[in-house]
Structure 1
Amino acid sequence: MPDYSHFARSGRDRQPGDNRMTALPATRRDDYRALHDSFHWDVPEIFNLAEVCCGRWARDPATMHRIAVYTEHEDGRRASHTYAHIQAEANRLSRALRELGVQRGDRVAIVMPQRIETVIAGMAVYQLGAVAMPLSMLFGPEALSYRIDHSETRVAIADETSIDNMLAARPDCPTLRTVIGVGDATGRGDLDWDTLLAAQIPEFTAEQTKAEEAAVLIYTSGTTGPPKGAVIPHRALIGNLTGFVCSQNWYPQDDDVFWSPADWAWTGGLWDALMPALYFGRPIVGYQGRFSAERAFELLERYGVTNTFLFPTALKQMMKACPTPSDHYQLKLRAIMSAGEAVGETVFTWCRDALGVIVNEMFGQTEINYIVGNCTAQYDESRLGWPARPGSMGRPYPGHRVAVIDEDGRPCPPGEDGEVAVCATDIHGHPDPVFFLGYWKNEAATAAKYSEYDGLRWCRTGDLARIDADGYLWYQGRADDVFKSSGYRIGPSEIENCLLKHPAVSNCAVVPSPDPERGSIVKAFIVLTPSVTRSFDNDAALIAELQQHVRGQLAPYEYPKAIEFIDQLPMTTTGKIQRRVLRLQEQERAEKPAG
């Protein structure tokens, strides 16, 4: 596990299996080299997510009654849940799943939002030695049936948000033997959660899993072909922790409370919020309901949230809805991590000035998560850190060796665009525990993910960036988001950030639109702020104004020659803009015959 003993305060012993990081007084404000170069991994042979995130806290009399999870429903219902309660319920479910025939390594689908049963189900599956497959409650029948059938899932757990689609998908899932209904889905599955657990005793002997064993199966959509199932081992949590601790400005502290709107069914919610918060024995807030800027501020204030992961889309909405939050809310925020898209200078500045928190941008993906980012630690001079640079995704977190490589796998010099890649070993030559095991039933895709250069094995991310002389990475977009117009190579990020600085723009996405002369032109899809009045004449004037706004700040070839106003951008469940959807739309429009 992460060994920060070089920076541990004297008089405080690290417990076996403890990834807590503390720091000596800093003598300079850029402590990056000291942190990164002195770091060594310590990965035990036996390691289980349920044990380190719940079991050990539930057994200890000093922590068993500590609040682990606060839950709130959009209808106003609220509850709090201790580690002891979660463990007892997980024990009951583990026994029930074993009676249903779930064996070590079998897949169990969990299709629920941020509710306590989602946490209990995960712990039950992990300690059983089975593989949890979190699925978004927003998935339709086709998306569910593909994943459940492809993964050969045996049991699915669904609540009222997903049971209809689950039942519609079931005929195409021959391996799915049992559907367990939760909450208002009671009576609609084969078995009911409450009845099932009530029939079991709250005791279970957990499997002794190896750190290398599979724990989670998460399907990730690519640019071509069906979604691929990334198999994540128990040890991957260890690989996440250096980034989590640093991006949250030396988490945990005594009064820490975590909240993120990120769905626990995807990597950002599961690995960047829920599991690390529980690992450190600190409470996390689970909110079941639609995200809104107003509700976000209410939750931050009501629970005294100190640490959060807010993707840029959420921050943009909050910035537009409440430019001066200190006038309306009493917040305790001390750290904000953001990922999924570039934050951009406008949002970065608002967080610093209006929230009093410097955003720590982070970069990672399902297969290799939490690998690059920042650690400002601006509130405590005794804690090490390094300065964030507005617009940069940061530097490689301790324990990870990251490079920008060209098509042949060679590292790019500073200032040159290339693909972000992560080495399978750290700077000391030791295996990096953050890596996934491979794609489920897809050896070819797994092999294609890697390349070798100079005796080192690199995992390609498919994301483009450039690295500067100080080791900061600057995101340039997905490889498939970058396009050429009149021979110029164009990425959407810089143009979008520029457009967002205009007061009329709430959100935007830039894609290529086919053009017979230039190959493609820059087109911007823009969501306007509610205060903008729409009319034919006004739209034309506003388009010209936005074009001039970009033309005046970026290169002449980067301004959007076409602008379309839309009510909502297509988004993934993780809050990422689906530029691919807009690109395909433009291609289809261009291919339609005139008239």
Structure 2
Amino acid sequence: MQDSQGRDNYHAMHGSFGWHVPPDFNIARECCARWAVRRDADTRVAVIAHGVKGEGATMTYAQLQQRANALSNLLATLGVHRGDRVAIVMPQRFETAVAYMAVFQLGAVAMPLSMLFGPEALEYRLQDSEAVVAICDESSIANVDQVRAQCPLLREVIGVGAAAADADIDWQAELQGMSTEFVYAHTHADDAAVLIYTSGTTGPPKGALIPHRALIGNLSGFVCSQNWFGFDGQSNKKTDAVFWSPADWAWTGGLMDALLPTLYFGRPIVGYNGRFNPELAFTLIQEHGVTHTFLFPTALKAMMKVFPEPREHFKLKLQAIMSAGEAVGDAVFAYCRDHLGVIVNEMFGQTEINYVVGNCARYWPARAGSMGRPYPGHRVAVIDDEGRECPPGVPGDVAVNRYDIHGDPDPIFFLGYWKNENATRAKYTGDWCRTGDLATRDEDGYLWYQGRADDVFKAAGYRIGPSEIENCLVKHPAVVNAAVVPKPDRERGALVKAYVVLAPHVAQARAITTRGQNAFDSELIAQLQAHVKDKLAPYEYPKEIEFIEQLPMTTTGKVQRRVLRLQEEERARSAAS
């Protein structure tokens, strides 16, 4: 720990940590049932619905358990057995939390699907997973209905709210007739709990099968990145903690980094079903007294540009901010520290092995721009192609060992890719599980992100990592966000090209300029190029800049550089023909 004098005791913490994984473990029992039998279960709030007033604004742990029991009984009557996949295609709402608890305690496998998925994406996942039941609301029922005929194993669709009219089963009507008593299944820690499909940036999406024990593996990172969530960190005295994240509960970041760990600690999480914007974020945080949050770097960048002095407008109780998905960068780091009063804890992980590296500013020094250090319980290294650990400063693949520093199995690991043994084997080099993300390690064990293996490129013989250039561009007041990709070039192989999203006031000035847009753009491009030249190596400045209204993003908040890279390659082919 980092004591009051600021000394770094990280190594003592990491060295003394050991896992305790019971043979039998069920996520629903730990996240709901054990809280529902407490004396305060009728008043202990589990989920808060933002934008809802009155009695329907909250759901207690007692209500969560009762509704989950009724749904478990309904699923059982529909013939759902242990190990069967149940698709949950809903946003942040009460019924989504209920559905997860019901599926887990039944011993079935929850398959979260984003409400943003179109018919083609839904059809692939429903077919591949062989899901037997889907639970939908009005945001997803039309797309599910559109592909229903192509998914013969999908026996029933349960409709929530307005979706009931187009579904086989009306959630509300059927649950009213179900018993609220249910005996949860005794699942082993290694039994499958969740099937989450990866984004598919390097091929068709792969289903990562996550066991119940993975929640245990997440907890050390969650507690550290949230500055000892729910405790004051000194005496372990409980504190009032309220969690919120815009991360969709259909993704690892929303499910395993927000919803489930918050419920595990018996605290309330705020649910909001709507589009993210900076004012909404600050208003929600203020209204509900949010103390802990997970915000993507993209969200923080937008909040920073719209509200550079947020404490002049909002009363905040923030104690911790975790950020992941992209490199945070020192501009966002400084904003959180100086204007939100919280040092952002960057975190790194992926669906298959989540929450493995990060910072905990409360107990060891965070370094601006660093991914952090391996969280307690995880043995993480930067390795080369042969699986050897790279020396400090030498880039390589971030990898996690199956065993911790004591030689005990790390519970964070996924079981494998669904129906894809070859892909599972390819993920490993011996006991090292490769992430596909490049980083360097410094002498103190901090990791420094270099980008996805397929995002790093060479230009004029120099190795270019896009995140450093993007971070530099965002520091300019005219830029909200940026993505850097290679543009094919005959002489140098590739040029550094930046796609830039302009700040609202600059975009407006660009639209109404009387000097002509070309002149405006030329001047602004020169300013941005000079800005990067002044701060980075000469070969890193973008030779070409294109302004764009918004960057292509995954539903998990990551910039899809691959889309822009392929666009540049197609343009080059067209120009050559």
Tell me the TM-score normalized by structure 2.
Answer: 0.96
Out of 302, 325, 332, the position equivalent to 2:287 is 302
The amino acid of 2:468's aligned partner reads E
Structure 2: how far apart are the matches of 1:150 and 1:583? 29
For 1:526-537, list aligned pairs within 5 A. Answer: 526-532=500-506, 533-534=509-510, 535-537=517-519
Query: Are positions 1:567 and 2:552 aligned together?
Result: no
Aligned to 2:400: 422
Aligned to 1:171: 149
Change (3 A) 1:82 1:301: same
Which region of structure 1 is more displaced relative to structure 2, 109-118 or 163-172? 163-172
Residues 62-118 of structure 1: CA distance to partner in whole angstroms, max 9, x if unpaired?
334300110124999961000000100000000000110100000000000000000
Query: Are positions 1:292 and 2:277 aligned together?
Result: yes
Residues 246-271 of structure 1: CA distance to partner in whole angstroms, max 9, x if unpaired?
11111123210000000000000001
Aligned to 1:582: 564
Aligned to 1:7: none
Q: Which runs of no fewer than 5 residues in structure 2 stay unpaired?
A: 232-238, 511-516
Change (3 A) 1:182 1:473: same
Aligned to 1:481: 455
Structure 1: how far apart are the matches of 2:82 and 2:179? 21
Aligned residues: 562
How much has 1:211 moved relative to structure 2? Answer: 0.5
Structure 2: how far apart are the matches of 1:293 and 1:463? 29
Aligned to 1:268: 253
How much has 1:27 moved relative to structure 2? Answer: 6.7
The amino acid of 2:309's aligned partner reads T
Aligned to 1:187: 165
Structure 2: how far apart are the matches of 1:294 and 1:315? 12
The amino acid of 2:481's aligned partner reads N
The amino acid of 2:69's aligned partner reads N
Change (3 A) 1:77 1:188: farther
Aligned to 1:143: 121
SS at match of 1:239: helix
Residues 488-527 of structure 1: CA distance to partner in whole angstroms, max 9, x if unpaired?
1111010001111111111110001111111111110000
How much has 1:275 moved relative to structure 2? Answer: 0.3
Change (3 A) 1:76 1:570: farther
Q: Which runs of no fewer than 5 residues in structure 1 stay unpaired?
A: 1-22, 378-384
Change (3 A) 1:143 1:473: same
Query: Are positions 1:221 and 2:199 aligned together?
Result: yes
Aligned to 1:493: 467
The amino acid of 2:528's aligned partner reads L
Aligned-residue CA RMSD (Å): 1.5
More helix per residue: 1 or 2? 2
Out of 77, 80, 85, the position equivalent to 1:102 is 80
Aligned to 1:69: 47
Residues 537-576 of structure 1: CA distance to partner in whole angstroms, max 9, x if unpaired?
0101111111111112111111111110000100011111
Residues 125-169 of structure 1: CA distance to partner in whole angstroms, max 9, x if unpaired?
000000000000000000000000000000000101111111112
Structure 1: how far apart are the matches of 2:55 and 2:246? 17
Structure 2: how far apart are the matches of 1:338 and 1:140? 27
The amino acid of 1:397's aligned partner reads Y
Structure 2: how far apart are the matches of 1:192 and 1:562? 55
Which region of structure 1 is more displaced relative to structure 2, 174-183 or 100-109? 174-183
For 1:307-326, list aligned pairs within 5 A. Answer: 307-326=292-311
How much has 1:60 moved relative to structure 2? Answer: 1.4
The amino acid of 2:566's aligned partner reads L
Aligned to 1:8: none
SS at match of 1:547: helix
Preserved CA contact (<8 Å) 2:2 2:9:
no
Structure 2: how far apart are the matches of 1:90 and 1:53? 12
Structure 1: how far apart are the matches of 2:168 and 2:278? 38
Structure 2: how far apart are the matches of 1:402 and 1:209? 29
Structure 1: how far apart are the matches of 2:52 and 2:104? 29
Aligned to 2:15: 37
Structure 1: how far apart are the matches of 2:293 and 2:553? 21
The amino acid of 1:293's aligned partner reads P
Aligned to 2:535: 553
Residues 217-258 of structure 1: CA distance to partner in whole angstroms, max 9, x if unpaired?
000023332100000000000000000001111112321000
Preserved CA contact (<8 Å) 1:342 1:475:
yes
Structure 2: how far apart are the matches of 1:581 and 1:75? 42
Structure 2: how far apart are the matches of 1:77 and 1:459? 47
For 1:18-33, list aligned pairs within 5 A. Answer: 29-33=7-11
